[in-house]
Amino acid sequence: MKKQNITKIITIILAVLAFSPLVNAATIQGSVYDIFLEELDKAIVTVDTEPKQMAVSKDGAYSFEIPPGEYTISATYYGEDDTYELEESIRINEGGIYTLDLILIPSLGNVLNEDDITDFGNFSEANLSLDEEKESSNLGIIITIIALLIIILYLHFAKGHFIKDLDESDLKSETEEDLEKLLKFIKEQGGRSTQKEIRKKFPSSEAKISLMITDLESRKLVKKIKKGRGNIIILTKEGTKK
């Protein structure tokens, strides 16, 4: 009789130990969206638990049971023309139900061109010579600033002014024309382009290109996404109708 009681106690203890991770497990759930906040059906969502868990979103929704710990959750969606990706680190301290929506952005591989790949490949070599060129570069900047100050002072005192009056209507017309050309270029690139490619296409200064993109973004015609050291410019739905 005592032997049976001991066996039952051991069985109960083993059962408790076996199910304790499940009792403390947290439910991570949410939806998968693209940059326009539209739900992505059949996106592949994974989390690096042991063993690794994988789910395919249904109407954008996914769900995991995860024990406490630190994990990386990633999602990928393969569209007809684009691949969207996201990777985030999460920390689970205790059980419960948590909502984590995932907003995927276009894969960097879709917007890189040959020049970008060459730049990345030569990045390490460029860093080797950076220190050697730094001193001469700084000296050149100082000389340039001094020269500009001298020119500005000369024009200000000798001429009285150095900026011509601009016809406001002409400036506005030219700006609208430039914005239309920029929108057309982004459409020709499949609805998205890097800011670097835009600068190559248009002979305007970097500052003017940035102002044009900001103008389009304020009109909700484009969306600017930070990616690495550059920006990706993507047409919004309103922008495609222009």
- Top pLDDT among 170 and 92 is at 92
Prediction pTM value: 0.40
122-to-116, 195, 197 alpha-carbon distances in Å: 10, 20, 18
Q: Encode pLDDT of 32-88 as tens digits.
A: 999 888 999 999 999 999 999 999 999 999 999 999 999 999 999 998 878 899 999
Prior bond of 51 cis (ω within 30°)? yes
8 Å CB contact between 60 and 99: no
For residue 105 the two structure tokens come to: 């952005």
pLDDT of residue 62: 96
8 Å CB contact between 227 and 108: yes
CA distance linking residue 43 with residue 66, whole number of Å: 19
For residue 242 the two structure tokens come to: 């222009």
Q: How confident is the model at residue 8 (pLDDT cuts 50, 70, 90)?
A: low
115-to-122, 200, 225 alpha-carbon distances in Å: 11, 11, 20
Please state, rounded to an integer, the average pLDDT across all residues of the chain: 78
- Is the per-residue pLDDT at 114 higher than 90? no
For the chain, helix, strand, coil in percent to 5 are: 50, 30, 25
CA distance linking residue 40 with residue 46, whole number of Å: 15
pLDDT of residue 136: 66
For residue 14 the two structure tokens come to: 């083993």
What mean pLDDT do residues 193-206 have? 87
Element (DSSP H or E) covering residue 85: strand 83-92
